[in-house]
Amino acid sequence: MIYLKILLLSVLCAIMLACQLPPPVSRLREADLSRSVVMIVYHPYGPALERGLAIPLPDYSGWTDDRMERDFNRLKATGVDVALVGIEAEKMSDHSRLERYRRLLELRAMNVDWPDLAFFIDFSEVDWSDAHRSETVSAWLLDLNMPHHPGIFQVAGRPLVVLVSHERITYRHPAFHSVIALPFPERVNEWRWQPGNSKWAAASPDGRQAWLQVGWLDREETEPERQWRRRRRDGANPVRWALREGLLLEPRFVVINSWNNYLDGSFVEPTRADGDRASQILQREISHLRRLRSD
């Protein structure tokens, strides 16, 4: 009888302890950060709605629940750890867009096997010198309850927030781990936001982050060259080349540009031009990376 009482007491203590434990912060635990964290840039609006270079399968014109679910189930299948979700700074006052980001967080909470979420805010078209800019960013992120959401990717115990700009800016808030991303970063803890002098991949100054360009770069090219690249892209080669070049840099954070940028042609999302070849190659290369890291 005494053994039964001891057993019941042990079970009761275990239940009480479990009730006191906090929920998991995210699918990707801090302990996993000893390996490379694979992120992919994801555009809800802006470049995702351009149609000059390719048309996604299926096509879309907004950011509906159906598109969110389809996109993030596809991202899950590729094996990426984190979706870096874009926010256009000039649209932060748009309440309807805020509600769509809130809906994404709701869906992520219900789909725990989706990639973790982090946000980047694009200030390339906005003047940061506005005296209230920093307060606007903080209020917007806190309104989404980011510090307490179970699906938000964290660094050093705080949600990661990336601020993209063409000029050096300063943003700090105790609730967030913020980094500044620039075309040509020079300081430690600054991230790179374009491939720089390399065609496919380039690292941040401290080597902790690498930017991978998985499509063609068409902004400096003539129309015939762009057409040639469109024919030769074949869905796979830029993805494979960028990932393998980027992994040679051995970064902690691998940022892939991108899932659906139809403005610069760096898309992995299935399209009428490529089918799902690019996303399949991404899945295989990430799987290859995981095997290498486990050996």
- Residue 253 is part of a domain; what is its CATH number? 3.20.20.80
User: Given this model, what pLDDT does residue 196 score?
Assistant: 63
45-82 per-residue burial string, b: 16 or more CB within 10 A, e: under 16: ebbbbbeebbebeeebeebeeebbebbbebbeebbbbb
User: Given this model, what pLDDT does residue 13 score?
Assistant: 47
With residues binned 3-state (H G I as helix, E B as strand, rest as coil), the percentages for the chain, rounded to 5, are: 40, 20, 40
> Does residue 198 sit within a domain?
yes
Calpha distance 10→156 (Å, rounded): 34
> Does residue 4 sit within a domain?
no
> Does residue 58 sit within a domain?
yes
User: Given this model, what pLDDT does residue 30 score?
Assistant: 39
User: Given this model, what pLDDT does residue 239 score?
Assistant: 79
Average pLDDT of the residues in 195-221: 75
Tell if the pTM clears 0.95, that is, is over it.
no
User: Given this model, what pLDDT does residue 87 score?
Assistant: 96
Average pLDDT of the residues in 78-102: 95
> Does residue 135 sit within a domain?
yes
> Does residue 18 sit within a domain?
no
Q: Which residues, in sequence order, are bridge partners of residue 102?
A: none
pLDDT band at 245 (very low <50, low <70, confident <90, very high): confident
First to last CA, the chain: 50
Residue 191 has pLDDT above 90, yes or no: yes
Name the more confident of 238 and 277: 277
Q: To the nearest whole percent, how much of the chain has pLDDT over 90?
A: 53
Give the model confidence (pLDDT) of 16-66 as tens digits. Answer: 434 443 344 455 443 344 478 999 999 999 999 998 888 999 999 999 999
pLDDT band at 249 (very low <50, low <70, confident <90, very high): confident
Average pLDDT of the residues in 63-76: 98
* Number of domains into which the chain is organized: 1
User: Given this model, what pLDDT does residue 9 score?
Assistant: 47
Contact criterion met (CB below 8 Å) for 238 and 201: no
Give the model confidence (pLDDT) of 260-285 as tens digits. Answer: 999 888 889 999 878 898 899 899 98
User: Given this model, what pLDDT does residue 157 score?
Assistant: 94
User: Given this model, what pLDDT does residue 227 score?
Assistant: 47
Contact criterion met (CB below 8 Å) for 267 and 41: no
User: Given this model, what pLDDT does residue 222 score?
Assistant: 46
Give the model confidence (pLDDT) of 135-158 as tens digits. Answer: 899 999 999 999 999 999 999 999
> Does residue 30 sit within a domain?
no
Name the more confident of 27 and 122: 122
Contact criterion met (CB below 8 Å) for 121 and 163: yes
User: Given this model, what pLDDT does residue 31 score?
Assistant: 34
**Average model confidence (pLDDT) across the chain:** 82
Question: Which candidate, 210, 213, 291, places its Cα nearest to that of 251?
Answer: 210
pLDDT band at 234 (very low <50, low <70, confident <90, very high): low
Encoding tokens for residue 215?
Answer: 């499509």
Could you tell me the residue range of the domain that residue 278 belongs to? Answer: 37-294
- For 10, 21, 23, 205, the CA distances from 17, given in Å and listed in that order, are 11, 7, 13, 44
Calpha distance 211→195 (Å, rounded): 6
> Does residue 144 sit within a domain?
yes
> Does residue 232 sit within a domain?
yes
Residue 214 has pLDDT above 50, yes or no: yes
User: Given this model, what pLDDT does residue 42 score?
Assistant: 98
